[in-house]
Amino acid sequence: MERAEVIRLFMIISDEYPNFITSEENIDRHLKELEDFPFETAVQNVERHIKISSFYPKISEIRGFAADQAARKRELEATKTYLEQREANRAKATLPPPGWKDGLLAKLRNGN
């Protein structure tokens, strides 16, 4: 995130939380902690925070649950891979030979 984006983020926050400190020092502090974080994600996290809290967001809340977001992305990829594998297996699947079920049931009934 760049300085101009931090300032834009501060504008969003201060519109909802008038007591939010928008000093140069606070901008610099946030820039240091958010420079590796995408602006759009920060805005989404702030907007979500505004809906649930009457206190302005801290840096950790602006960052959101980045670990959770990364885990969710990994889980989505794993699910996609699993479903693709299931579909590939389904395409290769064949029905058992005729009489297989009857033969198996006869063996079970006879105890063999």
Same domain, 9 and 41: yes
Q: Are 37 and 65 in contact (CB under 8 A)?
A: no
Same domain, 12 and 54: yes
String of b and e for 7-19 (b: at least 16 CB within 10 Å)?
eebbeebeebbee
Same domain, 59 and 70: no
Same domain, 86 and 33: no
3-state SS, residue 56: coil
The residue to which tokens 């505004």 are assigned: 50
Q: Which residue, 37, 44, 54, 50, is CA-closest to 1? A: 37
Same domain, 75 and 35: no
Say what the pLDDT of residue 50 is: 94
Its domain, for residue 90, covers: 66-95
Same domain, 13 and 41: yes
Same domain, 49 and 30: yes
Same domain, 60 and 7: yes
Domain CATH code at residue 55: 1.10.8
Q: Are 22 and 10 in contact (CB under 8 A)?
A: yes
Structural domain tally of the chain?
2
Say what the pLDDT of residue 11 is: 97
Neighbours of 50 (CB within 10 A): 16
Same domain, 40 and 83: no
Which parts of the chain sit beneath pLDDT 50?
A: none
Say what the pLDDT of residue 74 is: 86
pLDDT in tens, 32-51: 999 999 999 999 999 999 99
Same domain, 49 and 25: yes
Q: How many residues does the chain have?
A: 112
**pTM check: above 0.75:** no
